[in-house]
Homo-oligomer: A and B are copies of this chain.
């Protein structure tokens, strides 16, 4: 296919690299001559706007994507146009309101769910999309052959295609991505004015809840603003629950049940998160191994686990404050737990299976 990419930042350049590698003829355009030249030098395609193209991928910053899509629909009257922005409804409305009659069917929104902590063409990778979900927003009016073009490109870069309508997409990411970002940020903000001695009591629970609070503020401001209505809906629902809990903390009669319901509702919601590879949620057995914190110890540990023929489903490393000792939690299917414990113990590992923190009185 002939693919024209508008915007040669991280995502656009990564797409150029991956699609060029898959044999497509890629052209590149960016408002910055330096950026488009850099992307071309890296091997992402050829600089310049072609006479005609099969597909245009708009990979600009989210706040100018709508205009870029409209420009592409007008400039390439035969092409299918997609984009990579993480909020879809606002863009669709913008395109629908302004595009020429009949052109709307040529626009198919995408959201490849991949990113990096760095930005710009220089950070691009041809395998950025491998194994990541790629949401495609089409509807009943979308011509099958145009939809097939987008699916083919997503598949060619190694992504797993997921078909969703834009409202459902935006509502879902508000809940599984945007609201969690807000909750992490709000929680972390409470640490700013704490004495260091108090923050020093932080355990793995706080670290997990606030990890994404380290995210890029400029990108997330655009994302939250772009999905403002949906995010506000979730946050308003959370505020209602928060108000209920705050009231219950006066410990008046009936309040203990309210506090308990807050925690059990969280238990129920947590259980809905799918496990690995999109399977139904599975409970893994966790065993804890205490190790000296020196190079090679983890290698030795996992080599021993490998020799036992047991697949590790998840790992968490925990470091206690003030102690030169690490604990490693290894999650395996419950049927293999006993075998793993015995096998590691017999190989000389210290397996207390006892330092699991998140249920403890941390």
Contact = CB atoms under 8 A, between A and B. Distances in A.
B117 A356 contact: yes
A220 B322 contact: no
Interface string A302-326: 1111110111111111011111111
Contacts of A303: 299-300, 302-303
Given A180-B209, A197-B168, A359-B215, A245 B235 contact: yes
Nearest to A160: B322
Given A164-B197, A228-B250, A303-B300, A192 B311 contact: no
A180 B187 contact: yes
A291 to B, nearest CB: 10
* Copies assembled: 2
A298 to B, nearest CB: 5
A210 B266 contact: yes
B272 A192 contact: yes
A345 interface: no
Contact of A354 (B128, B273, B352, B356): B128
Contacts of A212: 205, 208-209, 358
B114 A360 contact: yes
A199 B185 contact: no
B125 A354 contact: yes
A39 interface: no
Nearest to A128: B354
Contact of A274 (B184, B202, B242, B327): B202
B117 A359 contact: yes
A214 interface: yes
Nearest to A312: B298
A186 B116 contact: no
B307 A299 contact: yes
B322 A278 contact: yes
A150 B339 CA distance: 38
Given A267-B217, A298-B306, A242 B245 contact: no
A185 to B, nearest CB: 3
Given A298-B306, A321-B133, A202 B168 contact: no
A243 interface: yes
Contact of A115 (B183, B298, B327, B357): B357
A269 interface: yes
A223 B173 CA distance: 32
B262 A189 contact: yes
A168 B205 CA distance: 20
Given A190-B175, A320-B160, A324-B277, A242 B239 contact: yes
21 contacts: A117-B358, A125-B352, A125-B354, A128-B352, A160-B323, A182-B242, A182-B262, A183-B186, A185-B265, A186-B238, A186-B242, A188-B266, A188-B268, A189-B241, A189-B266, A191-B270, A208-B209, A228-B250, A228-B251, A232-B246, A238-B242
Q: 10 smallest A-B Cβ distances: which pairs?
A: A115-B360, A299-B306, A185-B266, A276-B319, A172-B198, A188-B269, A296-B306, A213-B266, A125-B354, A189-B265
